[in-house]
Amino acid sequence: MKIFKHIGKLLRDFWGFAWQNKAWWMIPIAIMLLLLTLFIVVGSTIAPYIYTLF
């Protein structure tokens, strides 16, 4: 699956960035935001069903 490969790559690069710059704050924020995105993306595909139900 292409998308998993790219998620892995992105996380690896985020980790590399944090390591290089000692910017550890980046990791939790990046993960939080990625999870949020998941919600948003999922939100946009299941939204019609949410509407039909509620």
31 binds another protein (CB under 8 A): no
40 binds another protein (CB under 8 A): yes
4 binds another protein (CB under 8 A): no
> Residues 23, 17: contact at Cβ < 8 Å?
yes
24 binds another protein (CB under 8 A): no
Could you give the angle at the alpha carbon of 19 between the alpha carbons of 17 and 39, nearest 5°? 55
- Tell me how long the chain is: 54
48 binds another protein (CB under 8 A): yes
> Residues 11, 17: contact at Cβ < 8 Å?
no
Residue selected from 1, 22, 24, 45 as contacting another protein according to rule CB under 8 A: 45
